[in-house]
């Protein structure tokens, strides 16, 4: 987030077709929950397009990139490498150490897709389990970021958005930022529905 050392999320591994939605959700979760950038494997161009599209409409800054060198990206990272895995140390035991290092160092959060090679476990400064149970890389990433930022990510502001959702007890309200009497865009235009599923 602005005024903090960078946080980048690296999606390690992607199977086109099969993983499209999961990879897209990793990217959208990274964006929504305070990361500055997501990096996908170079065969995940479709997920890149979706995340860029959402960023164009709902605002940034947020960067999406592809890489064809996942291992080198991790090896060359100048800062702290956190690898999320159900085999790692308990998040509640290491989060404070990671938060402290994030005060001065950029963080790379590696999120596994297909099987992650042992090299990644070795390169990581922290292998971290959000529970030691099998669940979802998207869920693990979400809880990790919320704890890394200590909830500050929920207060972040968005620049250059075409539309902004106004929190509402019942129903949906979407406005164009900056419009004097921010005009309500009706339900019919809610093409970016809760999960960007069809994005």
Q: Closer CB to its own copies, residue 49 or residue 93?
A: 93
172 binds its own copies, rule: CB under 8 A: yes
Q: Which of residues 130-149 bind its own copies (CB under 8 A)?
A: 130-143, 146-147
Of 166, 63, 83, nearest to 125 (Cα)?
83
15 to 58, 95, 147, 149, 199: CA distances (angstroms): 27, 30, 29, 30, 19
Among 45, 97, 150, 154, binds its own copies (CB under 8 A): 154
Structure tokens at 193: 């529905």
35 binds its own copies, rule: CB under 8 A: no
Which among 2-10, 41-49, 96-104, 108-116 is the span making contact with its own copies, rule CB under 8 A? Answer: 108-116
Structure tokens at 168: 């509402």
Among 17, 76, 169, 188, binds its own copies (CB under 8 A): 169
Contact 152, 102 (CB under 8 A): no
Which among 63-71, 74-82, 115-123, 176-184 is the span making contact with its own copies, rule CB under 8 A? Answer: 115-123
76 to 55, 64, 69, 70, 184: CA distances (angstroms): 27, 18, 10, 10, 47
75 binds its own copies, rule: CB under 8 A: no
108 binds its own copies, rule: CB under 8 A: no
Give how many residues touch its own copies by CB under 8 A. Answer: 72
Among 44, 80, 112, 149, binds its own copies (CB under 8 A): 112
58 binds its own copies, rule: CB under 8 A: yes
Consult the annotation and say whether 115 binds a ligand: yes
Consult the annotation and say whether 34 binds a ligand: no
Binding-site sequence positions: 84, 112-116
């Amino acid at each position: 987030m602005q005024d903090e050392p960078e946080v980048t999320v690296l999606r390690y591994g992607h199977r086109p077709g099969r993983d499209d939605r999961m990879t897209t959700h990793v990217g959208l979760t990274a964006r929504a929950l305070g990361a500055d950038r997501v990096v996908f494997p170079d065969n995940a161009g479709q997920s890149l397009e979706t995340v860029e599209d959402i960023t164009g409409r709902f605002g940034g800054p947020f960067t999406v990139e592809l890489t064809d060198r996942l291992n080198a990206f991790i090896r060359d990272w100048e800062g702290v490498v956190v690898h999320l895995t159900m085999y790692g140390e308990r998040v509640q035991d290491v989060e404070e150490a990671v938060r402290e290092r994030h005060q001065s160092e950029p963080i790379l959060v590696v999120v596994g897709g297909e099987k992650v090679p042992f090299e990644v476990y070795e390169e990581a400064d922290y292998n971290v389990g959000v529970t030691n149970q099998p669940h979802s890389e998207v869920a693990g990433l979400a809880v990790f970021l919320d704890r890394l930022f200590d909830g500050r990510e929920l207060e972040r502001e968005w620049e250059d958005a075409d539309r902004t959702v106004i929190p509402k007890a019942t129903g949906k309200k979407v406005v164009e930022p900056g419009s004097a009497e921010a005009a309500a865009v009706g339900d019919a235009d809610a093409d970016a529905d809760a999960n960007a599923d069809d994005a």
